[in-house]
């Protein structure tokens, strides 16, 4: 199947405990690059009294990062065998998340008494 892909890709049901290395490049590297959306919420709260253009700019950088990850996973040839081998991981689960996010954002306020701005910010948390 994937001969040079490493133990986690060869057996996707085995967790990181079965592999030799838990972090990709170490704790601090993973915290900055893999969990890069964590810093957005405190940043938006810190700048809440400033012009809303700052919050929009932060959101655009965040969504650009998400879209680039989506592009790498779905549209590059190097991930194509893995995408075809594990459709539930790369097609079903992201599709369900996309539908649930759209449902959460597009539900009218007459049915859900939470304002749209709060629903949008809840996605960043």
Write out pLDDT tens, residues 67-112.
Answer: 887 788 788 888 888 888 988 888 898 889 989 999 999 999 899 8
Q: What is residue 104's predicted lDDT score, i.e. its pLDDT?
A: 92
3-state SS record for the chain: CCCCCCHHHHCCCCCHHHCCCCCCCCHHHHHHHCCHHHHHHHHHHHCCCCCHHHHHHHHHHHHHHHHHHHHHHHHCHHHHHHHHHCHHHHHHHHHHHHHHHHHHHHCCCCCCCCCHHHHHHHCCC
Q: What is residue 83's predicted lDDT score, i.e. its pLDDT?
A: 86
* Residue, of 37 and 60, whose pLDDT is higher: 60
């Amino acid at each position: 199947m994937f001969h040079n892909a490493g133990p986690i890709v060869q057996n996707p049901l085995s967790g990181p405990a079965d592999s030799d290395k838990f972090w990709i490049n170490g704790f601090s590297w993973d915290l900055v690059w893999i969990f890069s959306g964590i810093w957005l919420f405190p940043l938006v709260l810190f700048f809440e009294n400033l012009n809303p253009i700052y919050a929009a700019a932060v959101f655009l950088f965040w969504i650009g990062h998400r879209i680039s990850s989506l592009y790498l996973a779905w549209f590059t040839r190097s991930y194509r065998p893995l995408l075809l081998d594990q459709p539930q991981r790369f097609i079903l689960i992201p599709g369900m998340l996309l539908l649930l996010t759209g449902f959460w954002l597009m539900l009218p306020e007459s049915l859900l008494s939470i304002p749209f701005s709060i629903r949008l910010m809840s996605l960043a948390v």
